[in-house]
Each structure stands twice: as C-alpha cells, then as structure tokens.
C-alpha cells in the first residue's frame, strides 16, 4: 500500500466498523482453537499493528511487516511485541523459528506469488500448528477500493481451497464472512465502476451511529463462524493445518 494508506489505516482501525468487526470474529475463532498458554503466534503483514494487542491475549506474538513507517506505528502502539522487517514469500527473518499459529489477515491478496507465500508460512508452522487467514472474496467486486489498496486479486471459494491444498495444508475450515453487507457492497462497487470514481465509496470512517450499526452487524458473525460456515459474503476466512 501507499505510505499514506498506512497512516489512514492507523487513524481509523481502532474504531472503523470493518476493523472492529473483523477483530471480534478473529477473537471468536482463536478462542475456539483453544491455543495453549504461551503459544507462539506470528502475524505476517501486520501493517500498523491494529491486531497485535488482540493477538497478545492468546500467546507470545512476533510480527513481520515490510513497510518501515507501518512498523514504527506498530512499535508505538504495542511496544512489547517483536516487530521485524521482512516480506513474503522470500524475505522472512524467521530462520529456525516455528509457531503454533500463523495469521495472515487480508495479506495474501497483496502478494504476487500467493502460493509461495502460503508455502513460506507453512515452513514455519510447528507440528499441529494452524494458519488463520482472511482474504477479500469475489473477483467481480474488484474495483477502485482494491486498486487503492494494491490488491492483486480477490478470491473465489474454490480457488482459495485449492491453493491451500496445493501448498500442503489440510483445510479445517473455509467460510465466507461479512454476509449481511454483501448486497450493499455489490451496489456501491457497481456505482464506483459506472461513475468512474477514483476514490471508492465508503472508504472513510462513517458517522458514529452508522459505524456502530455496521460494527454490530458484521461483529455478530463472531458467534456464528466458530460453529458453522456461511454460504456467501464479502470475505473468506480459512483455518488450515
């Protein structure tokens, strides 16, 4: 992403409905996984560190981020976390290290060689360890929002499943998420394309009542996703071992 995008992210990710809703869902998933005390957790592509405090509730966290500005922001927000410079797939500063949980939260779509990234992550999984990842879904939704965030692609369900299997994983869970807001997103993304907008609709922080309502709608999936798979949605969530 552009450096300015990292600054924008840091400014809103504590409050924006999408980030807060996703954190609720991810916390629900990790609680269900029952990680052992002191589990080694790795976040690849940690951005400005919005997930590091959450992850620290479940174990000892190491993070890898390629952007220097994002790393600096992370260190001010979570000074006790080991945040290292590195990138996927061939620039991970993790020689000889392994982790019980490796997280890629909306990272894989940024990497040219996504298969290489999955294999690189797998190489650092401890025996019995798991990877937890999220990606945007539906290539038909690809538009200004994805261009602004330097996405290379959005994923189909079968595509993500097949890539995880080809990288040597056993897929334990694969589900859509952000179900309720998919119809709204379809309309907004269609308007962005038709009207030729360079700046995607809805990219900023909405008014407080709207933000709270959207966070509640999205975050409600935290009670569902650990127990069942959702048939459609804006994003995909996977657990693989």
- Can you give the pLDDT at residue 134? 98
For the stretch 74-113, pLDDT in tens is 988 888 899 999 999 999 999 999 999 999 999 999 999 9
Q: What percent of the chain is modeled with pLDDT above 90? A: 68
Number of structural domains (the chain) is 1
pLDDT of residue 131: 98
The CATH number of residue 41's host domain is: 3.40.50.150
pLDDT at 34: 86
pLDDT in tens, 34-65: 898 899 999 999 999 999 999 999 999 999 99
Distances (CA, A) of 116 to 18, 166, 212, 216, 229: 28, 11, 38, 36, 27
Is residue 83 within 8 A of residue 112, CB to CB? The reply is no
Residues 194-238: tens digit of each pLDDT: 666 665 555 567 788 988 988 899 999 999 999 999 999 999 999
Three-state secondary-structure class, residue 61: strand
pLDDT of 2 above 70? no
- How high is the pLDDT of residue 198? 62
Mean pLDDT of 104-127: 98
Share of the chain above pLDDT 70, in %: 90
Tokens of 80: 């006790």
**Helix or strand run (H / E) with residue 132:** strand 125-136
Task: Give the pLDDT confidence of 142-193 residue by residue, as tens digits.
Answer: 888 888 889 999 999 999 999 999 999 999 999 999 998 888 777 777 766 6
| Domain, as residue range, for 94 | 3-240
pTM value? 0.90
User: Could you tell me the sign of the dihedral formed by the alpha carbons of 181, 200, 115, 47, in that order?
Assistant: negative
SS3 breakdown of the chain: % helix, strand, coil, rounded to 5? 40, 20, 35
Q: Are strands 99-105 and 125-136 parallel, antiparallel or unpaired?
A: parallel
What is the total residue count of the chain? 241
């Amino acid at each position: 992403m552009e450096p300015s995008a990292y600054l924008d992210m840091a400014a809103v990710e504590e409050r924006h409905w999408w980030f807060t809703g996703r954190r609720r869902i991810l916390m629900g998933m990790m609680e269900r996984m029952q990680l052992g005390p002191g589990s080694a957790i790795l976040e690849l592509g940690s951005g400005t560190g919005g997930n590091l405090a959450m992850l620290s509730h479940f174990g000892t966290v190491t993070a890898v981020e390629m952007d220097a500005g994002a790393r600096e922001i992370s260190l001010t927000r979570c000074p006790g976390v080991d945040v290292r410079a590195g990138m996927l797939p061939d620039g991970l500063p993790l020689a000889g290290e392994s982790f019980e949980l490796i997280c890629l939260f909306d990272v894989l779509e940024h990497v040219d060689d996504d298969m290489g990234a999955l294999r690189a992550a797998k190489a650092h999984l401890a025996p019995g360890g798991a990877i937890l990842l999220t990606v945007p879904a539906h290539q038909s939704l690809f538009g200004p929002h994805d261009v602004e965030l330097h996405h290379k692609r959005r994923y189909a369900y079968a595509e993500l499943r097949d890539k995880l299997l080809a990288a040597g994983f056993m897929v334990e869970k694969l589900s859509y998420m952000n179900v309720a807001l998919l119809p709204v997103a379809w309309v907004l993304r269609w308007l962005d394309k038709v009207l030729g907008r360079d700046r995607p609709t809805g990219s900023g922080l909405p008014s407080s009542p709207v933000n709270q309502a959207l966070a509640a709608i999205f975050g409600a999936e935290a009670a569902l996703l650990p127990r069942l798979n959702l048939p459609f949605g804006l994003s995909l969530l996977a657990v693989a071992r």
